[in-house]
Amino acid sequence: MKRIFKLRLAISVAGFAIAGLLFSKAAEAVTLYRVSQETAVNSSNYNLLGYIKPFVTTQTVSQYYNYKNSSFGGSNIQLVNDRSHLFLVQAKDGLALFSVHNSPATSDRTGGNARMQFDLLGDPNKASFMVRDDASDTYLVNGTVINAANSTLRGDTFTTAQNWQPGKTDGFAIGSLNDNWTT
C-alpha cells in the first residue's frame, strides 16, 4: 500500500553563519536555510527540523542535475530507493530547490510515481522550472502546463506529476530563489 503524505514542509532563509572559524583561511558567509514540518495537516503550526546549507557548485543548475540515462546524474548526493530527496544547490545561475525521486539502482524493481506541489512565498521575482526530468511528465506553473514553448514561465505555485521506471529516477529543480522566500 502506498502512503500519501499531505503534511507541509517549510524551507526558508534562516540567516548567516560564518564558515572557516576553525581554519586559517579567510572566513566566508554561508546562508543557512531553516527546515520545518507542519505538525498536522492544515494546522499552519510547524516544528523546526533543523538547518541546512546548500551544495555549492560553479556549474549551472542543469549541469549539476546532469540528466542522463533517464535519471539524475549528479554526484554529490547518494540517492536511496523509494525515497524522495529534497536539497538546495547554489549554482552559477542561482539558488535552486532540487527534488529527486528514487535511485538509479538495479535493485529497484518497481519504479514509482509522485505528485507534488510547492508554493513559493516571499520571492518577488518568482521562479521557474530550471530542470524538468522527462518531458513526458506533467509540470505546471500557476496552473499552466509547461512545454517547450513556455519552458521559462515564472510563477509561485509549482505542481508535478511524475512517473519513473524501475532503476530510474525522476525529478526537477525550481529556481532561481531570491530574497526572503519560503516554500
Tens-place pLDDT, residues 80-135: 888 888 899 999 999 999 999 888 877 778 888 989 888 888 888 999 999 998 87
Residues 20 and 81 placed together within one structural domain of the fold: no
Which residue range is the domain that position 36 belongs to? Answer: 1-53
| Residue 30 sits in the same domain as residue 63 | no
Round to whole Å and give the CA distance between 16 and 28: 10
Do 26 and 90 lie in one domain? The reply is no
Cα angle 94, 118, 165; round to 5:
90
Are 154 and 131 within one domain?
yes
What pLDDT digit, counting tens, does each position of 11-66 carry? Answer: 555 443 333 333 333 345 668 888 888 788 778 788 888 888 899 999 999 999 99
- As for how many domains the chain has, the answer is 2
Residues 117 and 76 in one domain: yes
- Write down the pTM of the prediction: 0.82
